[in-house]
Amino acid sequence: MFFDAVVVGAGLAGSTAARILAESGRKVLVIEKHKHIAGHCHDYKDNNGITVHTYGPHIFHTNNKTVWEFVNKFTEFNYYQHKVLSYAEGKLIPFPINRDTLCEVFGINIATYEVEEFLSNEVKKSKFNNPPKNFRDVIVSQVGERLYELFFKNYTIKQWERDPEELLPDVAKRIPVRANRDDRYFSDKYQGIPKYGYTKLVENILNHDNITVMMGIDYFEIRDYLKSSLVVYTGELDRFFDFSHGKLEYRSLNLVLKTFDIEFYQPVAVVNYPNDYDWTRITEYKHFLDEKSSKTTVCFEYPTAHGKPYYIVMTSENMERRKKYTEEVERLERTGEYIFVGRLAEYKYYNMDEVITASIRKTEVWLNGR
């Protein structure tokens, strides 16, 4: 059977592209290597009725109205504002750094208007490259060495298994610093968790007469037998080109789930552990959807170099390599026969909303060219 488009991967990037193509009247085949849809935002309900995110915590947040309207066509969201505490010096402290964090750590009582001066004194005492050249420089230039060492240094070493000075500044830009008492992890206008889960959201996106989904099939094993006008590729960038410019690095997670016979394990959904233990964070899933159960399911995250690719690794070496692959991608995309989109195919540290934004944009550009 002929398909107008073959979409490789049934995560957010692939399903968004498939939906837009299907709505434009194209017949779309989605091929998914795993035996489930939804990619890394896959979730399921466990035996205690708690929705578990298979690949670690996913919180939807965006300032992009188009994206928010797109996802709201396929699911309702609950009202959820993500809060994180960091376990440091034996205490649970608000994170990212805000006024209350400073009061806790330094045992002081300052007002919002005094925060800027306080932090600038911390920065003055510290050494860093100005302008910042790497992850450490960005953080130290904002909050000084003391807070960098307490909250960032060891978490980053655990997460990436490298010196924070080898990581590019962009990684640090994900974490805000606030002078006020806002203790949310994200300040985006639209935030929430899909009421019936991410898997259901993706199932609804893919539920269209023009879309056929095949699971448990590796695209690379069947690609020679497929005929289509367009391939939307969302898998690993280097794999597509047979690693011709060398391997790109990815980080994975070893996620250990535990169920406890207590109502709550911790006060918020996520607690970070920068300095203690081998895990980086613990997620207690029931907080996300306010699920009621006498038991609770929590997830310990142990970063590792082995296993499924969860994260791209933002070092200059990987980014140089990415550039070579990107040139090949641009050449293929110019033919009108390919779209590369998503965290893996673009080798970008995208959030979920950014994946959807990129997929909508690239697919619409392709359609406008027809």
Name the pairing type of β-strands 211-215 and 28-32.
parallel
**Which residue in this structure is represented by tokens 């006060």?**
267
Q: Which is nearer to ligand UDP, 149 or 328 (CB)?
A: 149
Give the span between the Cα atoms of 333 and 319, in whole angstroms.
20
Name the pairing type of β-strands 91-95 and 190-192.
unpaired
Give the span between the Cα atoms of 204 and 135, in whole angstroms.
39
Q: Which is nearer to ligand UDP, 22 or 139 (CB)?
A: 139
Distance in Å, CB of 96 to ligand UDP, minimum: 8
Q: Rounded to a whole number, what is the distance in angstroms from the first to the last CA of the chain?
A: 22
Q: Which is nearer to ligand UDP, 274 or 342 (CB)?
A: 274
Q: Which is nearer to ligand UDP, 175 or 367 (CB)?
A: 175
- Return the bridge partners of 8, or none: 31, 233
Binding site for ligand UDP (CB under 6 A): 86, 95, 151-152, 155-156, 159, 171, 174-175, 272, 274
Question: Strands, E, within 162-288: which ranges?
Answer: 190-192, 211-215, 228-233, 250-260, 270-272, 281-284
Give the span between the Cα atoms of 302 and 320, in whole angstroms.
28
Q: Which is nearer to ligand UDP, 26 or 251 (CB)?
A: 251
Q: Which is nearer to ligand UDP, 64 or 72 (CB)?
A: 64
Distance in Å, CB of 308 to ligand UDP, minimum: 14
Give the span between the Cα atoms of 22 and 7, in whole angstroms.
11
Give the span between the Cα atoms of 344 and 235, in whole angstroms.
6
Q: Which is nearer to ligand UDP, 19 or 281 (CB)?
A: 281
Give the span between the Cα atoms of 74 and 29, in whole angstroms.
20
For residues 66 and 320, the answer to whether their CB atoms sit within 8 Å is no
Q: Indicate the DSSP class of residue 364.
A: H
Distance in Å, CB of 34 to ligand UDP, minimum: 21
